[in-house]
Amino acid sequence: MQTWAIEAIGLQKRFGKVHAVRGLDLRIRRGEVFGLLGPNGAGKTTSLEMIEGLVRPDDGEIRILGLDWRKDGNEIRNRIGVQFQSTQLDDKIKVREALHLFGCYYRNPRSPEELLKLLQLEEKADAFQSTLSGGQRQRLALGLALVNKPEVVFLDEPTTGLDPQARQVLWGLVRHLREEGSTVLLTSHYMEEVEALCDRVGIMDHGQILQLGTPRELIGELNQPSFVEIEFRDAAPDVQAFAAHLGMPVEAKAQHWSIALGDPKRDLHRLMSSIEALDLPMQQLHVRRASLEDVFLHRTGRSLRE
Partner 1 sequence: MNARIYFNQLRMGLKIFLRAPSAVFWLVGFPIAILLVLGTVLNDKVDDSIKLTWSYGATGAAVNAEDTALKLAMAERGLVVETMAPAAAEARWQLGKTPALLEGQDGKYTLRINTYYAPQGRQIHALVQQSFLIAQARARGVGELLPMPTTMTSPGGHRGGPYAAYLLPGLLGLNLLMMGLISVGMVDAAQRERGGYKRLATTPLPHHVYIAAQVSIRLIIAFSAAVMLLLAGAAVFGVYNQGSYLSFAALVLLGASCFICLGYALSSFMGGVDTYAGVSNLLLLPLMMLSGVYFAIDSAPLWLQHAVEILPLAPLVTALRAVFNDGASLGSIGPSLAILAAWTLAAFAVATKRFRWV
- Positions touching partner 1 (CB under 8 A) are 52-55, 74, 77-78, 80, 82, 84, 86-90, 92-93, 97, 100-102, 104-107, 144
| Strand 226-232, strand 152-156: pairing | unpaired
Pick 75 or 293: Cβ nearer partner 1:
75
Question: Is the CB of residue 120 less than 8 Å from the CB of residue 139?
Answer: yes
Query: How distant, in Å, are the alpha carbons of 2, 115, 117 from that of 109?
Result: 26, 10, 15
Question: Which element (helix H / strand E) includes 288?
Answer: strand 282-289
Nearer to partner 1, 58 or 293 (CB): 58
How many Cα neighbours within 13 Å face the side chain of 94? 11
For residues 42 and 82, give the distance between their C-alpha atoms in angstroms, rounded to a whole number.
20
Q: Smallest gap, in angstroms, from Cβ of residue 51 to partner 1?
A: 11
| Residue whose CB is less far from partner 1, 86 or 120 | 86
- Please list, in sequence order, all residues whose beta carbon lies within 8 angstroms of the beta carbon of residue 205, skipping any fewer than 6 positions away: 38, 39, 42, 296, 299, 300, 302
**Complex with partner 1: residue 71 or 107, whichever CB lies closer:** 107
Residue whose CB is less far from partner 1, 63 or 195: 63
Cross-strand bridge partners of residue 282: 232
Three-class DSSP category at 185: strand
Smallest separation, CB 82 to partner 1 (Å): 4
Task: Supply the minimum distance, in Å, between the C-beta of residue 262 and partner 1.
Answer: 46
CB of 74: closest distance to partner 1 in angstroms? 5
CB 29 within 8 A of CB 5: yes
Minimum distance between the CB of residue 202 and partner 1, rounded to whole angstroms?
A: 21
- The rounded distance, in Å, linking the Cα atoms of 56 and 169 is 34
The nearest distance, CB 60 to partner 1, in angstroms, is 18
Which of 304, 256, 303 is closest to 284 using CA atoms?
Answer: 256
Query: Of 145 and 260, which has the nearer Cβ to partner 1?
Result: 145
Q: Which of 53, 49, 57 is nearest to 67 (CA)?
A: 53
Q: Given the complex with partner 1, which of 86 and 214 has the nearer CB atom?
A: 86
Q: Residues with Cβ < 8 Å from 217, sequence gap 6 or more?
A: none
Q: How far is the CB of 206 from partner 1 (least distance, A)?
A: 24
Cα gap 38→187, rounded to integer Å: 8
In the complex with partner 1, the residue whose CB is nearer, 55 or 261, is 55
Least separation in angstroms between CB 15 and partner 1: 13
